[in-house]
Amino acid sequence: MSRLEGKIGGDGNQPVEAEDILEALAEEQRREAVRRYFSGGDGWREASASLGGAFAAKQPWLKPDGEE
C-alpha cells in the first residue's frame, strides 16, 4: 500500500483505514510479546524489553502514588 492511498478495501462496503491496520498489527505484536514473556521460553528476554514492564494500558483515571 502506498502512502498516497488513503483507504484500502475490506470484505464489506466500508473502507479500512491504514491506521486501523497498523494498530491491529501493533496489538498482535504486543500479545505475542506477552505470551513469550510468560512462557519463559525462547525470546522471553526480548519480549520483556519490548514490553517495558507494562502489561496493562494506562488508564486516565489512575494516578501515581501520592498524587490526588
Residues 15-60 have pLDDT tens digits of 778 888 888 888 888 888 877 777 777 777 777 777 775 566 666 7
The confidence score (pLDDT) of residue 26 equals 84
Read off the DSSP letter of residue 17.
E
Helix, strand or coil for residue 16? strand
Q: Which residue has the higher pLDDT, 47 or 5?
A: 47
Map out the domains of the chain as residue ranges. 15-50
- Cell numbers describing residue 42: 525462547
Residue listed under C-alpha cell 510479546: 33
Interior angle at CA 40, CA 37 and CA 46, nearest 5: 50
The confidence score (pLDDT) of residue 1 equals 47
Alpha helices, H only, the chain: 18-39, 44-51
51 contacts 30 by C-beta, under 8 angstroms: yes
The confidence score (pLDDT) of residue 58 equals 67
